[in-house]
Amino acid sequence: MRSREERAAAKASAQAVAAEAATRAEQARIALDSARRAEKQRLKDEADARKAERRKARQADNPIEDRLTMVAATIATIVAGQGMWSFLEQVLPHVHWALRALMFAFVEIAVVTSAIRARRNMREKRPAGIDGLAVWILTAVSAVLAATEAHSLPEVLFRIAAPLIAAWLWERGMSIERARLTGKSRIHWRLTPERAMVFLGLAESSDRTASQVDAHRRLTRVALAAKKARTLKAAGASDKQVARALAKLDRRIDQAVEHTGLAQDETMQRAMLAQVDALFGGATLVDRVAVPPWASLDRPMTDELTGRVAEEVTRRMALVPPIEPDAVTESVTRTVTDGHLTVGVTGGDAEKEADEVIAALRGDTPVTEPVSQNATDAMKAYFDRVVKEDRRIPSGVELAKAGGCAESWGRTMRAKWEAELDGRTRRALTPASKKAASA
C-alpha cells in the first residue's frame, strides 16, 4: 500500500492536471468566441461595403440634379395637365368627367415615354434620334394647348414656360450623361465665358505666363515701329515724320531691352527678326506665283519608276568610255529628290541630268530645244477655240501639232491651262475630253 504522502502527492498532481486542462479549455473557448466575433464583424463590414457601393451607384445613376429635374418636370406636368383639363372641359363639355380624366394627360404621358426612350438610346451609346425630337415637339404642343385656356398674358407665359423649362432641364441632363458615357460633348458653343474673356483681352488663349506675354508684346511693338519708320522713309515722308518714327523705334527698343532679355537671349532676338521679316515681306505676297498643292500629284516618282530609272542609268553609264589610268578615279553618284534624279560622273565627265530617262520610261518626249512664244500663243488660241466651240479640253498631242512643238510641251501647257479653268467649267469639259480621247 502507498503511504499517505504518496496518495496526497498523486491527488495534487491529478488536481494540477485537471486545472491545466480546464485552463486550456477556457482559452480555447475564448479564442473560438474571438474568431466568431471577428468573422461576424468581417461579414458585417462586407455587407456595409456592399450597401455603400449600391448607395454610391444609385447616387451616380440618379444624382441630385436628376432628382431636381424630376421635381421640375412633375410641377410642369401638373401645370400642363391642369391646362389640358380646362381645355377638354371647354372643347368637350358633353364628355363625362371620368372619360376626360383618361384623356387629359395623354400628351404628358407621350412626353414622358419619348424621354425614357431617348435616354435608353443614349445609354446604349446611340443618338437620341426621333425620340429626343419628339420630346420637344410634344412639349410645345402641350404648352400651346394649355395656354389656350389662359385668361391673361402672364398666365399664357407661365403655361408656355413651365413645360419648356422642364424639357430644357431634361436636355441638359441628357447632355451631361452623354458626355460622361462617350467622353465628348454633342456641340461646341461658339460663345463661352472663356472666349468672351479672350476677346475682351482679359485672358490668354494659350498657356503663357505674364512675362512671356509681355515680352511678345514688346517685341511686336519694336517690329511695328520698325515697319512704320521704313514705310515713311520709302514713301519720301518729311524729315520730321521720319525722325519722329525713328525716335519711337528707339524708345521701343530701349523698353524691350530693359524689360526683356533681348540683349542676351538669342531665341528672343530671332523671334524679333522673324516678326520684322514677316512685316517687311508682306508686299511680296502680292506677286507670289500660285503653286497648286496638287501639282506634284500629276505623275509622281514612284518606287518602281525610281528603280527602273536607276537600272537605265546604270546601263547607259556602262557605255561611257573608260577613263585613262592617269586620270582621277571614276565615281558615280545618284541622287533622287522630289522625283528628279541626277547622275554625276567625276573624272572628266560633267554631271548629266536623267530627265530624258524618266521621260522615256513615262512615254514623254523631253523638250530639248526652246519653244518660241509664237508656238505657245498658237497652242493657247487653239485651246481656247476648242474649249469654246467643241466644249472639250484638247489633248497635249493636239496642242503640240497646233504649235508645231514637242508633245511634252503640249501636255505641259495643257495641264497648266486646264488648272486655270474654274471648277465648274472643268467638270463640264472633262467628260467631253474623255469621250473625244476614247473616240
Q: Are residues 240 and 306 in the same domain?
A: no
Q: Is residue 166 part of a domain?
A: yes
Q: Are residues 310 and 260 in the same domain?
A: no
Convert the pLDDT of each residue in 393-416 to its tens digit. Answer: 888 888 888 888 888 788 888 888
Convert the pLDDT of each residue in 225-262 to its tens digit. Answer: 998 998 888 888 888 898 999 999 999 999 988 888 88
Convert the pLDDT of each residue in 291-350 to its tens digit. Answer: 666 665 555 555 555 666 666 666 666 555 554 444 434 444 444 444 444 444 444 333
Q: Are residues 80 and 137 in the same domain?
A: yes
What is d(CA 92, CA 101) in angstroms, rounded to the nearest whole number?
A: 12
Q: Is residue 399 part of a domain?
A: yes
Which residue range is the domain that position 247 belongs to? Answer: 210-281
Q: Are residues 319 and 415 in the same domain?
A: no
Q: Are residues 377 and 407 in the same domain?
A: yes
Q: Are residues 81 and 131 in the same domain?
A: yes
Q: Is residue 1 part of a domain?
A: no
Task: At 81, list the grid cell.
Answer: 395637365
Q: Are residues 172 and 70 in the same domain?
A: yes
Q: Are residues 114 and 174 in the same domain?
A: yes
Q: How many domains does the chain have?
A: 4
pLDDT means over runs of 10, the chain (439 residues): 74 84 88 89 89 74 72 79 78 78 78 86 78 87 81 85 84 76 64 74 74 86 90 87 91 89 87 88 75 60 58 61 44 42 41 46 46 79 86 85 82 84 73 50
